[in-house]
Amino acid sequence: MNTTPTETARRPHFFGLLSTPGAVLALLCVLYFILFMDRVSLNTPRPMMMKDLGLTNTQLGIAFSAFSLPYAFFQLVGGWIGDRFGVRRTLFVGCLIVGVSTALTGGVGGFASLVALRIALGFGEGAALPTATRAMAIWTPASRWGFAQGITHAFARIGNAVTPLLMAGMLLFITWRTSFVVLGIASLLWLVVWMWFYRDDPREHPSITAAELATLPARSAKARPEIPWLRLGRRILPVTMVDFCYGWTLWLFQSWIPAFFYENYHLNLQSSALFSMGVLSAGVIGDTVGGVMTDRLLRRTGNVRIARRNVLIVGFLGAFVFLLPVMLIHDLTVATLGLSLAFFFSELIVAPIWAIPMDIAPRYAGTASGMMNFGFGAAGLISPAMFGYLVDRTGSWVVPFVASVVLLLIGAVLTLRLRPDIPFEE
């Protein structure tokens, strides 16, 4: 039987520490951490895997990109699945696939099985971020949507940052195969807490209070709207193009930074992991700062376009500036600082660009954000594989950054055309 806010007002909050909406956001933060940890887990054991499985950089780049094929497809339909069938069930199925495919990566026998499991991982993760965005649109006040996107993606970058060091530490005691099993089991544990705590409709949660409910958007989480695919797609397309320009560089950071330090500066595995963690940690700060900046600008100006666009442009141009010394100067300190600052600025982009689909079409938040993130998925089909191919072809670990520099400038220009201040009309 459903309870009323008056009845639930007397009940304790989640673990007595967080409000119920805050606890939902915390669960989503942990989810993003797990998803991105599993996604980049190939990076650190790369030398061992290449030796044991007989892989080249080009083949490993293809394996990275294989993840993006179903991931990009599910950006289009995954958000719709979350809108149509509910966040709780969609994330359960997706994360079940993620945990199992990660664990099974420890049993791969060669290139074909590795690619197959990366494709399976892409299927599992494909619907996760658009569906989680729907959860935020339901469980977070509209004035804090930028912060919610920023903090969840900050946890994603924490996953990016600590995974190289975590994997390097595990590899001192266990095989690379066993390390994937450990990650897979950890991913599956999240599902238990998720299914126990989350509800698609905040009004049905046993811990929600009347005061908390009053702050949330007044929409039914159980609504299953018919999606105006073509009209919504045309409206979101400019955001998708900007996301492609951002995604190209992020895929390089997620896929190749440990290998960059290992091969280009001839560091050992543990040192490469430590330098990678330092670079990727800058993204944690960037995601958080981007979310705070865009929400603060929105409160100060009341103008959604200024709040989203200005932060995006600063992010694109800052990343462009700080990638240049990485390409022009062969020095470990310069490369580390340049990559760290470039990643910080590129991650300023995350919160505003994920908030824009929520601004434009909150009723279709899952589908709209999936359409937007199709740009990121499409970049992932090309960027990691091209990086590996160019390294094998040219012998240079710097040449592949040229495309990133160009696309960062294009992204800044395209941002000027975005209109998050104009809502999507039915």
Question: 290-312, pLDDT tens digit by residue?
Answer: 988 998 999 899 899 999 999 99
| Local structure of 208: helix, strand or coil | coil
Quote the CA–CA distance of 393 and 404 in Å, as a whole number.
18
> What per-residue confidence (pLDDT) applies to 218?
62
| Local structure of 397: helix, strand or coil | coil
Quote the CA–CA distance of 77 and 85 in Å, as a whole number.
12
Phi-psi region of 37 (alpha: psi -120 to 50; beta: other; left: phi over 0): alpha
> What per-residue confidence (pLDDT) applies to 17?
56
Cα–Cα–Cα angle for 353, 297, 131, rounded to 5 degrees = 30
Nearest CA-CA partner of 146 in 322, 25, 24: 25
Domain tally, the chain: 1
Length in residues, the chain: 426
> What per-residue confidence (pLDDT) applies to 6?
40
Please give the DSSP secondary-structure letter assigned to residue 107: G
Task: Answer whether residue 254 is part of any domain.
Answer: yes
> What per-residue confidence (pLDDT) applies to 195?
92
Quote the CA–CA distance of 264 and 201 in Å, as a whole number.
51
Q: Give every CB contact of residue 138 below 8 A, 6+ residues apart in sequence.
A: 87, 200, 201, 202, 216, 217, 219, 221
Task: Answer whether residue 208 is part of any domain.
Answer: no
Task: Answer whether residue 9 is part of any domain.
Answer: no
> What per-residue confidence (pLDDT) applies to 313?
96
Task: Answer whether residue 205 is part of any domain.
Answer: no
Residue type, 387: F
Count of C-beta atoms within a 10 Å radius of residue 142: 15
Here the tokens at position 289 are 């700062």
> What per-residue confidence (pLDDT) applies to 356?
93
CATH of the domain at 248: 1.20.1250.20
What domain range is 46 assigned to?
18-199+229-415
Nearest CA-CA partner of 248 in 422, 56, 24, 402: 402
Count of C-beta atoms within a 10 Å radius of residue 52: 15
Task: Answer whether residue 423 is part of any domain.
Answer: no
Count of C-beta atoms within a 10 Å radius of residue 422: 12
Task: Answer whether residue 378 is part of any domain.
Answer: yes
> What per-residue confidence (pLDDT) applies to 133?
81
C-alpha gyration radius of the chain: 21
> What per-residue confidence (pLDDT) applies to 323?
92
Here the tokens at position 214 are 């009053």
> What per-residue confidence (pLDDT) applies to 236?
93
Query: Token match 């690619």: residue?
Result: 115
Quote the CA–CA distance of 375 and 353 in Å, as a whole number.
11
Name residue 18's beta-bridge partners.
Answer: 14
Task: Answer whether residue 221 is part of any domain.
Answer: no
Phi-psi region of 223 (alpha: psi -120 to 50; beta: other; left: phi over 0): beta
pLDDT tens for the 426 residues of the chain, in order: 344 444 434 444 444 457 888 899 999 999 999 998 888 788 778 788 888 888 887 887 788 778 878 887 887 777 778 777 888 999 999 899 999 999 999 988 888 999 999 999 988 888 887 888 888 888 888 778 888 888 888 898 888 778 878 888 888 889 989 999 999 998 899 999 999 999 988 888 888 888 888 888 765 445 556 778 889 989 999 999 999 999 998 888 877 787 788 777 777 777 777 787 888 888 889 988 998 899 899 989 989 999 999 999 999 999 999 999 988 888 888 989 999 999 999 999 988 998 899 889 888 877 888 889 888 888 887 887 787 788 788 877 778 788 889 999 999 999 999 999 888 876
Quote the CA–CA distance of 70 and 242 in Å, as a whole number.
21
Nearest CA-CA partner of 308 in 355, 346, 347: 355
Task: Answer whether residue 219 is part of any domain.
Answer: no
Question: 64-83, pLDDT tens digit by residue?
Answer: 778 878 887 887 777 778 77
Quote the CA–CA distance of 311 and 345 in Å, as a whole number.
9
Query: Token match 């673990």: residue?
Result: 15
> What per-residue confidence (pLDDT) applies to 225?
61
Q: E strands within 285-334?
A: none
